[in-house]
Amino acid sequence: RPFGRREEKALIFEVITIFPRMFDSPLAEGVVRKAIDRGLLTVGVHDLRDHADDPHRSTDDYPYGGGGGMVMTAEPIGRAVETLHNGDPRAKVIFLTPQGRPWTQEGARALAREDRVILLCGRYEGVDERVREIYVDEEISIGDYVLTGGELPALVVIDAVARMIPGVLGCAESAEEDSF
Ligand code: 4G3
């Protein structure tokens, strides 16, 4: 296989979220849909609540070690990430957060070269610090503002990367020629 995954394998995103339905229509339209239909892109959307361990399927709690407000707990996120890592322990885990590294066209180009990327969507007032320490490889921010969750940033990342995958855009709309 001299040319890596290019000929036969899609770039795979695995998304962890408590709002999986937010991904339904954005992935079902336009260029992103075409990339998925043509087997160049795969997006798995995983409900974090499936990894909760109580009857209420809780994913938030008071912060470990004290502090105000509620944060997403480490345990369900840890189980979700470990379940997804079982296929490929080296898959990069990206956490969408306002404190992350600014998202750029160059970042999209780099991510399009990965085989498998796990996108972690946070909610509430943040995430248990242990999640960052243990599971997160990289933090990305789509801009200098706060949203109610990481779902829209994850969709921005998927969209920007999808159009950089070789074969997704036609020659007329070549990704390399774009100026912005
Ligand atoms: C983690 C990303 C997640 C911590 C996420 C808030 C904006 C962006 C969240 C936190 C987000 C961004 C969820 N808002 N600019 N909200 O990419 O404080």
pLDDT class of 6 with cuts at 50, 70, 90: very low
Check if the beta carbon of residue 112 is closer than 8 Å to that of residue 85: no
Q: For residue 141, give every residue at least 6 positions away whose Cβ sits within 8 Å of its Cβ, in sequence order, or none.
A: 96, 97, 98, 99, 100, 101, 102, 103, 153
Q: How far is the CA of 146 from the centre of ligand 1 (A)?
A: 6
Q: How far is the CA of 132 from the centre of ligand 1 (A)?
A: 13
pLDDT class of 80 with cuts at 50, 70, 90: very high
More confident residue, 9 or 99: 99
- pLDDT for 66 beyond 90: no
Q: How far is the CA of 71 from the centre of ligand 1 (A)?
A: 12
More confident residue, 81 or 175: 81
Ligand 1 atom, smallest distance to 144 CA? 15
- pLDDT for 68 beyond 60: yes
- pLDDT for 63 beyond 90: no
Q: Is the CB of 150 under 6 A from ligand 1?
A: yes
Measured between alpha carbons, how far is 98 from 127 in angstroms, rounded to an integer?
12
- pLDDT for 44 beyond 70: yes
